Copies of this chain bind each other. A is one copy, B any other.
Amino acid sequence: MTIQTPTGHTAIGTERLSGEAAVWSALRSVQAQTDAQLDRALHRVCSIGLTEFLALLACAEAPDGEVRMNELSEAVGITQGSGSRLVVRLERAGLTERRMCEYDRRGVYTAITVHGRNVLDQAVPAYEHALQQALNRFATDERFAPLIQSLRALPDRQEV
């Protein structure tokens, strides 16, 4: 993925923007920095980026470990074109393989390989750990503490 915002970045827009827009600004900041840290952690631990991680996760959670191209792109949050190239990268790394769809010959499945599952098994704890670290860091920053608090309160209140 190779993500933005390496610099610690303070939210802007508190003067000219409404309260909600200012919260959004803060959220963008937290989001970008955190995802950048997740990306780096994944690269460090298993040499994949955040996009690749999300793609593997989508495959692993699907029946038979396979997902169609358009579903994959949607799950990861990129366009069809980007999805196509993402799968090329994954295949080149031996993490997934292509399978043709029997009933609709336009369709292509991307299936996670055994190696892909092994990498994912390493990646998930690394991801979780890095996420906790990032959120903890923001939780001690008074500008972001309320935001983090309310995020952390969510999973207890309801399944998302």
List residues of chain A with CB under 8 Å of any chain B CB: 4-24, 26-29, 31-35, 54, 57-58, 60-61, 73-79, 124, 127-128, 131-132, 135, 143-144, 146-147, 150-160
Contact = CB atoms under 8 A, between A and B. Distances in A.
B160 A4 contact: no
Contacts of A127: 17, 21
Given A24-B131, A29-B77, A128-B18, A150 B154 contact: yes
A10 to B, nearest CB: 7
B157 A146 contact: yes
Contact of A17 (B21, B124, B144, B150): B124
A7 B147 CA distance: 26
B20 A131 contact: yes
B21 A128 contact: yes
B57 A4 contact: no
A126 to B, nearest CB: 12
A33 B26 CA distance: 16
A82 B74 CA distance: 28
A29 B54 CA distance: 12
